[in-house]
Chain A
């Protein structure tokens, strides 16, 4: 396995780390909980709450991996994975549960019966089981908050009700990034939930963050090519980092922006993709470049690709925004503003026909740089539809600076206080 494969697995395929970092207590709590369900048949319910990219799924998968390594447990647990984004209503979710449990009304991949029958069937199945003899079922509900939006919360009620009654042992594990998820639950659903919440809120310091970056970049010990392993790991030693204050600045900036691992993985992936056979080591410049790509403002980039006419319209809109303090404008106003500019200041730009300007205006709308304020577009003539600019002044100015061969009069017009 080349190091490229190794890293792509680590950063893109979310391979599980050996040990989850910075969440030992949560790991222990969850493992204990699931172990009790698996071994003692104790029903439980738990929510894992944490911001996006904080490692909820990773933690759960680590725990499950560890749990399934136990011999007794391995054959005795039925994990059911559901995702709120995939199972968008209870009907689909029920079919999916039945399919994954492989109950008797499943033939091949098909689940027989209507919604009501499926529900009755599943509930009956769970009811028949008991604590000591039936296999524990682990219901893993990713995007738990979305399940709370299902009609009547039927699925959640039933799963949690099973977990609170003497039926087949189940563990309901919800993963969500919403801190207020409990407020979504109906009171009778809420009452049945055990109110165990595992919060994954990383309080990583910057030093730990740097360590983390290093450990993420280093190759594992069992890497076959030892020579390359030594060279590689040496190249990312501390002194390399500290000798490049720019690098530390970039990482600091990332750290300030977000502490989560997913954005870090993205950054490192971009940096690593610059490594090639001819350039076998990762350089600080690679990271800087990757960081620049990460931090880039997408809207400003779009501005760079606009025509002069479109840019002029944007500037006209900017002035209208200034004059009317963010009130919406229509094409006619923008066109007037543009004409004023042409009459008074323009030397380089010729007059455009109104349809051409209109076309440019529509192009801007398609790029979603401007947005119509009225919902019913059909009634009003295009020229008089109220629009709003979705750009910040700074973005416009920045784009003008970088715009290749921007006429000076246009620049000056943009800079001037009022039209």
Chain B
């Protein structure tokens, strides 16, 4: 029976061939000459050498990814097998909207040389399925007659934008590529359990675009378009995601395999190592185990029972993985048994746990803690393979026995589930769920349980070492033996369980979705030494545990805060509500006015696509990486800075709701909305944690929060509006704001807004400006076309304006300030004017040029000239006297006394009764109050100096107009 299952599943065994040579001394990576692949249980060995074309497993089993192998390399311990490749694309991998660029119908076997850089060219060697023959076809020659199905043709290259003729030079160094051997069947390309999750070495980091999270996302959503929130992304972006998906697919596959126990590469590594140590071993592990089982079953039971009591908790998790795994990914109806050794070894340890038939869906819970502990342990203890002891080893066996008993039920069940989920996306979803679901239990897991988990992992470790030593026991086939048992577990559980069920479960705990999974795997591989690893993992584990707790608590926390305001300090800030609801806009002009109000949130923000995209990408990448950063955004008022960022955040929130990106926290502070720069700390802290403290204390708390491993996993996006007002003499507020994101655990993205472009240079001292960095963006004032577009999009088919009227407004505003607020206000005023004049029967009800002109006049025309025109006679006379005195003095300034002499003379000329000095002063003061004149303080009396606030020409013009 065991045979049956192992037959069906194809196991591939990968071994390095040739002599390793040091490839990179710094990274301690070794290059290898070739890779031997063999299917377990078969003699045939395929040798893959650099230069050959290879097939790499991806989401689509029918069409695996094609690439040219450039180099093999691995790390010191030979645990990881990696390869550098040059990708080729199938047409199906080209984004839908670019496919037309080809301009002809593609050959079914055609592939394209990939010239983009968005794709990580480093793959896990263990995702290689086999070799393939690729033939370069010159541009003008037709494709050869359909030859073997295994030959692919390359004619063009694809650089993410266009198809180009492929330079034959690129294809030249093709050694004789061997056609795939029938001995190594491509299909079913069952995921081999040994195919470790792709370990991303340091090399990865240098590559710009596809960060792990992008990959994950790309993989998790089959249609790249779906990832674009609101369809705002450019096609370029789409492309990059697409190509990223390619690379990631293989990784995702392995991720699926590892499932919740994903973070235990160490365990895996051990096994690989052992494989390497036993070349030529024909016997599968399963076989060996079964034999062992029979022998030792009796004696083990007692011990295993003992053990299981302490372990059972974590064991449950380990076992519970299976349903989801099985649902995972079976596009071609073939089962994939993505088993993780860690979980398996757990299973092995717990006969009792497994013995309980009623492992049902509600036990499908946290594996991660276990997995983690596991890994930590792994990392912490360097291989001490020497310490093998028999009792431990025996513990493994009883379960085997049990497993066998269960197997009978499995095949039918397997098919069922395979049929159930065809669509890869769904499979991925389920896969995510399995990762997510553990989070809930973590939240509840008290420390003691973790200790027990640790204990378990210690045992596991020893177990594994033992396995390593007893070489007969080890081979990858081992995994397969366990698969059915898991199947059984599922079948014993509720049969009705569907994907959607799992999906909902995943949603429930989505707050803490990816990060835990991502961080360890990435970080662990970054450092090659075990010590570092363990250190980091411990940190991560802590974070995770705590985070789980907080996320569990948050929902109840917020409402409780708002109840019971006992003292005025806890008063709820609110404006009393009105008794009669506000009236809705009645006519079309009302409607237009409501839409044109600056406060109304438009459906979309036109004319800021580029800026939107840039900010979106910036924030998104930071959120996905879990890193921090600063961005400085400048622009004159009314150019949509804050609105754009809010839009970005809205989209990102949406994306995170859709589980496309990790959740994050958005906090907004405004330099204008605080009384003192130091209040920024208070406000940030209050918005983060809802606690009210003094500024100093808040600064200390925030400092602690951002410099220690964050209790929150989620990234914080902080928007600092009106940055210039946070200036202090020592600039410590700004310094802190920009320093926090650079901290390792901060996960803080700071977006700052101010009006002036050179603010960092002007007001910031070097160390602050340097921390702000160079990620800057400036919002240009709107051009008239953009303004017009903004109004049109706001009006959104409400026909209230004549086209010309709109153009006039936008041109006028664009010429003056480019301030969108101003533009909208003028339009609003124009609708009012139109409404007032609507009493005329001739009016069409549309806002016409004349209305707009009137509104423009009202808002832009200087009132000085009118004011002079409406001034009293003595005031006008005084202005003339001022000008006369200025002319006499040749200065733009005179004392009141001097002007008053002129004034008296002028009034004599005009035939007016001269006024007294007191009256004259009163006249002067009135003009000064209007700011037609600028006056000194009035205590100077007659000696106060007088200046004009208007140009002399304007005064004369206004006075002349009055006389006429």
Q: Does B919 contact A (CB under 8 A)?
A: yes
Residues from chain B with a CB closer than 8 A to the CB of A137 are: 575
Give the CA-CA distance A42 to B825 in the complex, in Å.
13
Additional 10 contacts, C-beta under 8 A, given A119-B675, A258-B923: A154-B673, A157-B673, A158-B673, A164-B598, A164-B821, A188-B637, A194-B828, A203-B869, A258-B922, A299-B917
Question: Residue B755 contacts which of A78, A115, A188, A368 (CB distance < 8 angstroms)?
Answer: A188
A41 on the interface (CB 8 Å rule)? yes
Are A257 and B594 in contact (CB-based, < 8 A)?
no
Chain A residues with Cβ below 8 Å from B674 are 116, 119-120
Please name the residue on chain A nearest to B671 by beta carbon: A152
Does the CB pair A125–B573 fall under 8 Å?
A: yes
Q: Are A104 and B573 in contact (CB under 8 A)?
A: yes
Residues in chain B near residue A121, CB distance under 8 A: 571, 573
Q: Please, which residues of chain B bring their CB within 8 A of the CB of A158?
A: 672-673
Interface range for A = 35 or more
List which A168-210 residues lie within 8 A (CB) of chain B.
168-169, 177-180, 187-188, 190-192, 194-197, 199, 201-203
Which of A12-20, A126-134, A235-243, A335-343 lies at the interface with chain B?
A126-134
A189 to B207, CA, bound (A): 44
- B917 near A195 (CB under 8 angstroms)? no
Whether the pair B866, A199 counts as a contact (CB closer than 8 A) is yes
- Cβ contacts under 8 Å, A286 to chain B: none
Q: Is B916 an interface residue (CB 8 A)?
A: yes
Q: Are A105 and B755 in contact (CB under 8 A)?
A: no
Interface CB pairs A-B, < 8 A, 24: A29-B832, A51-B871, A51-B930, A76-B579, A105-B573, A116-B682, A129-B574, A154-B672, A161-B673, A165-B599, A166-B601, A168-B575, A177-B929, A179-B867, A179-B931, A188-B722, A188-B755, A194-B829, A195-B822, A199-B867, A201-B867, A257-B873, A296-B916, A297-B917
Q: B572 to A43, Cβ gap below 8 A?
A: no
Bound-state CA distance A164–B869 (Å) is 34
Residue A96 CB within 8 A of the other chain:
no
Which residues of the partner chain A approach B919 to less than 8 Å between Cβ atoms? Answer: 257, 295, 297
Which residues of chain A are within 8 angstroms of B870 by Cβ–Cβ distance? Answer: 201-203, 259
Q: Are B755 and A257 in contact (CB under 8 A)?
A: no
A41 to chain B, nearest CB (A): 3
A177, A196, A259: most-surrounded residue (chain B CB, <10 A): A196
Given contacts A43-B599, A76-B580, A116-B675, contact A180 B949 (CB under 8 A): yes
Question: What's the nearest-Cβ distance from chain B to residue A344, in Å?
Answer: 29
Q: Which chain A residues (105-162) contact chain B, with CB distance < 8 Å?
A: 105-107, 112-113, 115-116, 119-126, 128-129, 131-137, 152, 154, 157-158, 161
Q: Does A230 contact B (CB under 8 A)?
A: no
Assuming the contacts A134-B575, A161-B672, asked whether A296 and B918 have C-beta atoms less than 8 A apart, the reply is yes
Per a CB cutoff under 8 Å, which of B572, B593, B918 touches A104? Answer: B572
Q: Does B308 contact A (CB under 8 A)?
A: no
Decide if A105 touches B569 in the complex (CB within 8 Å).
yes
Render A5-44 as a binary contact track against B, CB cut-off 8 A, 1 for contact: 0000000000000000000000011001000000111110
Query: Does A103 lie within 8 Å of B573, measured CB to CB?
Result: yes
The chain B residue sitting closest to A49, CB to CB, is B863
Knowing A158-B673, A187-B636, A297-B918, the reply to whether A134 touches B599 (Cβ < 8 A) is: no
Q: Which of B564-604 contact A (CB under 8 A)?
A: 565, 568-569, 571-585, 590, 593-594, 597-601
The reply to whether the CB of A52 lies closer than 8 angstroms to some CB of chain B is yes
The answer to the question of B295 belonging to the interface, with a C-beta cut-off of 8 Å to chain A, is no
Q: With a CB–CB cut-off of 8 A, which chain B residues contact A119? A: 673-675
Q: Does any Cβ of B come within 8 Å of A3's Cβ?
A: no
Top 9 nearest A-B pairs (CB, nearest first) are A104-B571, A191-B637, A41-B582, A125-B573, A201-B870, A297-B916, A124-B573, A256-B873, A129-B575
B916, A300: Cβ atoms closer than 8 Å: yes
Distance in angstroms from A396 CB to nearest chain B CB is: 11
Instruction: Give residues 319-349 of A contacting B (CB, 8 Å).
Output: 326
Flag whether B900 is at the interface (Cβ < 8 A).
Answer: yes
Find the A residue at minimum CB distance from B832. Answer: A32
Minimum CB distance partner of B942 in chain A:
A390
A415 within 8 A of B: no
Q: Is B932 interfacial (CB-CB < 8 Å)? A: yes
Flag if A113 contacts B819 (CB, 8 Å): no
Which of B569, B673, B940 has a CB less than 8 Å from the CB of A123?
B673
Which B residues are CB-close (under 8 A) to A255?
Answer: 872-873
Cβ < 8 Å to A, chain B residues 44-89: none
Which B residues, 666 to 700, have Cβ-Cβ distances below 8 Å to chain A?
A: 672-676, 679, 682-683
> In this assembly, does A392 line the interface, its C-beta being within 8 Å of a C-beta of chain B?
yes
**Contact at B859–A134, with CB atoms within 8 Å?**
no
Q: Which of B826, B863, B923 contacts A199 (CB 8 A)?
A: B863
The residue from B825, B866, B918 contacting A298, defined by CB atoms under 8 A apart: B918
- Pairwise interchain contact A392-B942, C-beta atoms closer than 8 A: yes
Interface hub of A113, A134, A179, A371 (most chain B Cβ within 10 A): A179
Within 8 Å by CB of B574, from A125, A136, A199, A201, lies: A125
A151 smallest CB distance to B (angstroms): 9
Closest to A169 in B: B582
Most buried by A among B577, B859, B913, B949: B577
Chain B residues close to A by CB (< 8 Å): 565, 568-569, 571-585, 590, 593-594, 597-601, 636-638, 672-676, 679, 682-683, 722, 725, 755, 817, 819, 821-822, 825-826, 828-829, 832, 836, 858-859, 863-864, 866-867, 869-875, 897, 900, 904, 912-913, 915-919, 922-923, 926, 929-932, 940-943, 949
Q: Are B585 and A40 neighbours in the complex by a CB distance under 8 Å?
A: yes
Among B578, B682, B683, B867, the most chain A Cβ lie within 10 Å of the Cβ of: B578
The smallest C-beta distance from B962 to any residue of chain A, in angstroms, reads 10
B599 and A132 within 8 A (CB): no
Query: Which residue on chain B has the smallest CB distance to residue A168?
Result: B575
Determine the chain B residues whose CB is within 8 A of the CB of A164 once the complex forms. Answer: 598-599, 821
Given contacts A116-B682, A121-B571, A178-B930, contact A40 B582 (CB under 8 A): yes
**Within 8 Å CB of B568, what residues of A?**
104-107, 112-113
Bound-state Cα–Cα, A106 to B904, Å: 58
Tell me, rounded to whole Å, the shortest Cβ–Cβ distance linking A252 to chain B: 9
Check if B872 sits within 8 Å of A256, measured CB to CB: yes
Within the complex, the shortest CB–CB distance from A259 to chain B, in Å, comes to: 5
Q: Tell me, yes or no, whether A388 is within 8 Å of chain B by CB.
A: yes
In the complex the two chains form, is A259's CB within 8 Å of B863's CB? no
Docked pose: A257 CA to B573 CA in angstroms: 51
Query: With an 8 A cutoff between CB atoms, is A253 at the interface?
Result: yes
Contact partner, A368, options B594, B676, B941, Cβ 8 Å: B941
Instruction: Please give, as numbers and ranges, the residues of chain A lying within 8 Å of B676 by CB-CB distance.
Output: 116
Residue among B679, B872, B943 having the largest count of chain A Cβ atoms under 10 Å? B872
Q: A51-B926, A135-B576, A202-B870 are in contact. Are A187 and B755 (CB under 8 A)?
A: yes
A133 close to B577 (CB less than 8 A): yes
Closest B residue to A110 using CB positions: B568
**Best-buried of A101, A135, A163 by chain B (most CB within 10 Å):** A135
Q: Which residues of B contact A203 (CB under 8 A)?
A: 869-870
In the complex, are the beta carbons of A256 and B874 less than 8 A apart? yes
Contacts of A195 in B (CB 8 A): 822, 825-826, 859
Query: Whose C-beta in chain A lies nearest to the C-beta of B722?
Result: A188
With A and B bound together, what is the CA distance between A369 and B917 in angstroms? 13
Kindly list chain A residues whose C-beta atoms are within 8 Å of the C-beta of B900.
392
In the complex, what's the smallest C-beta–C-beta distance from A40 to chain B, in angstroms? Answer: 5
Chain A 40-64 against B: per-residue CB contact (8 Å), 1 yes, 0 no?
1111000001011000000000000
Contact B872 A191 (CB under 8 A): no
Closest residue of chain B to A199 (Cβ to Cβ) is: B863
Contacts of A136 in B (CB 8 A): 578
Tell me, in angstroms, the Cα distance from A135 to B580 when the chains sit together: 9
A126 vs B859: C-alpha distance in the bound complex, in angstroms?
A: 28
Cα distance A125–B929 in the bound complex, in angstroms: 36
A350 within 8 A of B: no
| Chain B residues, Cβ within 8 Å of A297 | 916-919
Contact of B932 among A179, A187, A371 (CB under 8 A): A179
Answer whether A157 and B672 are a contact pair too, CB < 8 Å, given A40-B582, A116-B682, A392-B942. yes
In the bound complex, how far is the Cα of B866 from the Cα of A42, in angstroms?
A: 30
